[in-house]
């Protein structure tokens, strides 16, 4: 397979890992993700991954229920570690080497993240799964993804979601919403589109990191994005 990118940062939604369960990790969805990721690594692409934790716990929703915000965010970081371990296990079961890095020291659960260790893993054709967000409260996993994409010098940040791109409104709620094939960082901000939080969007803009938002839940889509097929929405 001819590929458009040689190194990518793939951001996966924790909510998507639920499948149709409503909570936790759906084994079929997890294995589907692992198979797609293994496929693009086999084509020669270096893959770093950041996974959200919303299928287990979200810091903001916890704060709304009375949790201390800092502790709530720390609980959310731990949720991302659980998801990262699950994906690492699924990849390993398929014969794809993978390694979990954590933003804060959690050895032996994961190796403490550094740019150089992650890039070394990528060079060894290992999937580098980077957990724990930025390691700080008040930052989302979108911001963590943008930060890691810049740090590991990825060609692009791929944001795998439940929808097939960016729309003028939420397509699950507004049937008249229309899809963008391309959109600028500034237009996302000016239109108030909730693609990522503003910190993540600004970080990508300042470091010229393109983003492709696409539907990860349809098997084969990841390979299509890697091949440069015009699915999803390009943010530039």
Annotate 166-221 with three-state secondary structure. Answer: EECCCCCCCCCCCEECEECHHHHHHHCCCCCCHHHHHHHHHCCCCEEEEECCCCCH
pLDDT digits (tens, 9 = 90+) for 143-201: 999 999 999 999 999 999 988 999 998 888 898 999 999 999 999 999 989 888 899 99
Lowest mean pLDDT among 3-7, 78-82, 117-121, 171-175: 171-175
Within a 10 A sphere around the Cβ of 213, how many other Cβ atoms? Answer: 25
Determine if residue 22 is left, alpha or beta; phi over 0 gives left, psi from -120 to 50 gives alpha, anything else beta.
left
CA 151 to CA 81: how far, in whole Å? 20
Strands 156-161 and 111-112, by their bridges, are unpaired
Structure tokens at 19: 């499948």
Which of 32, 39, 19, 94 is CA-nearest to residue 224?
39
pLDDT bin (cut points 50, 70, 90) of residue 207 is very high
Domain 7-235 is of which CATH architecture? 3-Layer(aba) Sandwich (3.40)
| This prediction's pTM | 0.94
Distance of CA 137 to the CA centre of its chain: 18
* Least confident segment among 23-37, 53-67, 72-86, 170-184: 53-67
User: Can you read off the two tokens belonging to residue 2?
Assistant: 């001819």
Domain ranges of the chain: 7-235
């Amino acid at each position: 397979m001819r590929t458009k990118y040689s190194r990518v940062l793939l951001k996966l939604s924790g909510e998507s890992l639920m499948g149709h369960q409503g909570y936790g990790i759906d084994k079929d969805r997890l294995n589907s993700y692992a198979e797609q990721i293994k496929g693009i690594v086999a084509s020669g692409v270096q893959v770093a991954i950041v996974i959200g934790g919303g299928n287990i716990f979200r810091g903001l929703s916890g704060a709304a229920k009375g949790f201390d915000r800092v502790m709530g965010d720390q609980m959310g970081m731990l949720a991302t570690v659980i998801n990262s371990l699950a994906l690492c296990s699924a990849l390993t079961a398929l014969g794809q080497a993978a390694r979990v890095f954590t933003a804060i020291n959690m050895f032996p659960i994961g190796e403490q993240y550094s740019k150089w260790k992650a890039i070394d893993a990528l060079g060894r054709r290992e999937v580098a799964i980077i957990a724990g967000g930025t390691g700080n409260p008040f930052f989302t996993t979108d911001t963590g993804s943008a930060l890691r994409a810049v740090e590991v010098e990825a060609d692009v940040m791929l944001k795998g979601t439940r929808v097939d791109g960016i729309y003028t409104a939420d397509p699950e709620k507004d049937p008249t919403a229309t899809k963008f094939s391309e959109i600028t960082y500034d237009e996302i901000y000016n239109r108030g589109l909730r693609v990522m939080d503003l910190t993540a969007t600004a970080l990508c803009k300042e470091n010229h990191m393109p983003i492709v938002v696409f539907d990860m839940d349809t098997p084969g889509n990841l390979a299509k994005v890697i091949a440069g097929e015009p699915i999803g929405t390009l943010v530039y």
